[in-house]
Structure 1
Amino acid sequence: MALEPPPRLIRALGETPRDADTDDWLRKLPELAEEAVARRDLTVERVQVPGGRSSLVVLVRLADSTPAVLKLVPPRSRPAGERAALAHWGGLGAARLLDPAAGDGALLLERLQRDVSVRSLPEAKSMLEAAGTLRRLWVAPPGGHRFETVAERTGRQAEAMRACPDPDAAPLVAAALAAREALLAGAPEERLLHGTFRQSKVLAGERVPWLAVGPDPVVGECAFDLARLVRDRVEDLIATPSGAAVTRRRIKRLAESLDVDQERLRGWTLFRAVESGVRALRVGRVQDAELLLEFAGWL
């Protein structure tokens, strides 16, 4: 069976500046996938379609017929960091890594129900379940870890934000950058964070009801991780006349339920929304950018 990358993955990789390593990885992806399958003695069922925006996901079975998922990630998406985080969590709150000793850039994971995320639940219930899952991931990082820090990641993002050519976005960019500086000056205890957490990253499982997938791990304060969840279903928030009030209540409830400082959560929510909006502008996703920047204006 040809393990070709789905069109969604190709389009997503094309939205960001291409580099030689990514081009090479995409060109060799069918071969890399076949080698990873053979190395693990897997039986391929099918490639997950439409699949993710940053990886090739293949539904497979182990030698004993146990269902699993083989995930291949481009080098720029830091697969080694994802592997290290999943191994450290050990299946607590996140999908279990089934090949912790492998070193070929592919990840073999327990299979979850990819079509059933907490986003399918009513809004209040989905937030409750997502927050509970996130809490289990917030553990002390391993000693001598090599994970990127929040300061490092947001430093790179801040440089890109300063280059935003849209003058209308300038006040929000300035506010977001100022918020980042203040937040980094007084950061509380650091934890290992998911890094890109949202409702669609929490899938139904067999051994426990909900487990997180697709981390881009980072070490820092918990409010940074929770900030992305605040704007979940942003299109619904924008379409609601009371969207700004709903957002403020959401920040308050999430902060209280997870023992996070409310003002720090608001600050990181602002920074991450503006950063995502500026990035959407940069790659031509104008509608997404408008939604994100309008949301950021409420903060």
Structure 2
Amino acid sequence: MLDGLTDDHAAAVARRFPDGETWLAGLEARLAEVVARWRLTPLRPLPGGIGGYLLDVRTADGRDAVLKLSPTGGAQGAANRLEAYALRRWAGDGAARMLGVDLAAGALLLERCRPGATLDTLGDEEMLEHGCGLARRLQRPADDEDLLILPRAAEEVAIRAQRFGGLMDALGHPFSPAREQEIGALHRALATGDGAPVACHGDLNPGNVLAHDGGHVAVDPLPVLADAAYDAVSLVWAKRSWLLAQPDRAEILRRRIAIASDVLDADAEHVRAWALVRLTGVLDERSEWGGYDTAPFVALAELL
């Protein structure tokens, strides 16, 4: 097995992607091919999520960089294309600069962020302020290219709204009856997609915001057309284990929503609505993957 690829990481990849085991079997050969073709010097594997494999490298011209390899095809292939699209549009302004891309190989080369500390190393309120400030910097009114390429969050919500009853049955009705009824109503409300959409990062969790050059930059976008409040959600529910262990956890959530509302100039109830609706989407997605503890998300839904 490749250095840095733990048994748990490999098992998660195999669960998440239909061809995950095949991709893992060919990963070492694919890595060697991309490294040779791009004339990279491998340095060390880096910790990452379950979306692929990260390697600290040096380019032929001496630049520090990160090579990311992800599965290709299907939904992940589409996600790879959207990630490259967003990074190209930002061109290093608020996001890590993309140095190279090969979608067929699932390969992405990014500038190395220094020092690279994740956003959750900050205090809680600072985490929200800096994260939402970066979200606002990255967001832009959707132009013709965005409207053609990016998915619309409201359309995904509308699809889930139509199957909401069946989804709750399949999940075993994880929420209290009152909260389930409210979340169903919020799905129907957000499915209308009122207002002019903006191009959002889409997955601005603290692990995707890195310290770099005296500020912070984003990585791993899942760009989507939505309203500004959409990007606050991954910060509102961040550090779940820590949050749920706090005696004042409900107040912390309220404060997080208030900060996000203020920084993004979004209605606080709208931020909360997106949190509950997107949380339901996580439960839906991870029930298909299997092997994930969704109890913290359910607990957060009851607190929100």
Distance apart, 1:203 and its partner CA: 0.7
Structure 1 stretch displaced more, 38-47 or 58-67: 38-47
Q: Distance in 1 between matches of 2:22 and 2:142?
A: 32
Instruction: List alignment gaps of at least 5 residues for structure 1.
Output: none
Is contact 2:125-2:256 (8 Å) kept? no
Name the amino acid aligned to 1:120: T
**What value does the CA root-mean-square deviation take over the aligned residues?**
2.6
Distance apart, 1:211 and its partner CA: 0.7
Q: Distance in 1 between matches of 2:3 and 2:137?
A: 34
- CA 1:33–1:170: 2 relative to 1, 3 Å: farther
Aligned to 1:298: 303
Aligned to 1:243: 249
Aligned to 1:92: 93
Distance apart, 1:23 and its partner CA: 3.5
Q: Distance in 1 between matches of 2:5 and 2:169?
A: 32
SS at match of 2:204: coil
Structure 1 stretch displaced more, 263-272 or 115-124: 115-124
- Please list, as runs of the form range in 1=range in 2, the aligned pairs for 1:187-226 lying within 5 A after superposition: 187-206=194-213, 208-226=214-232
Q: Greater relative contact order: 1 or 2 (C-alpha under 8 angstroms, separation 6 or more)? A: 2
Q: Distance in 2 between matches of 1:284 and 1:102?
A: 28
> How many residue pairs end up in the alignment?
293
Structure 1 stretch displaced more, 109-118 or 96-105: 96-105
Is contact 1:183-1:264 (8 Å) kept? no
Structure 1 stretch displaced more, 39-48 or 269-278: 269-278
- Please list, as runs of the form range in 1=range in 2, the aligned pairs for 1:117-196 lying within 5 A after superposition: 117-144=118-145, 145-155=148-158, 159=163, 161-162=167-168, 164-169=170-175, 171=177, 172-196=179-203
Q: Aligned match of 1:276 in 282, 287, 291?
A: 282
Distance apart, 1:232 and its partner CA: 1.3
SS at match of 1:210: strand
Structure 1 stretch displaced more, 251-260 or 134-143: 134-143
Aligned to 1:34: 32
Structure 1 stretch displaced more, 83-92 or 72-81: 72-81
1:181-216 deviations in whole A, cap 9, x for unaligned? 10222522211111111112111113x521111112
1:79-136 deviations in whole A, cap 9, x for unaligned? 1110011001111111100125875421110011475112111222222211221111
Distance apart, 1:72 and its partner CA: 0.9
- CA 1:55–1:113: 2 relative to 1, 3 Å: farther
Q: Distance in 2 between matches of 1:269 and 1:284?
A: 23
Q: Distance in 2 between matches of 1:151 and 1:47?
A: 37
Instruction: List alignment gaps of at least 5 residues for structure 2.
Output: none
Distance apart, 1:63 and its partner CA: 0.7
1:140-199 deviations in whole A, cap 9, x for unaligned? 345233222213444565658445331343734443232121022252221111111111
Q: Aligned match of 1:56 in 53, 56, 63?
A: 53
- Please list, as runs of the form range in 1=range in 2, the aligned pairs for 1:9-24 lying within 5 A after superposition: 9-16=9-16, 18-20=17-19, 22-24=20-22
Q: TM-score, normalised by structure 1?
A: 0.87
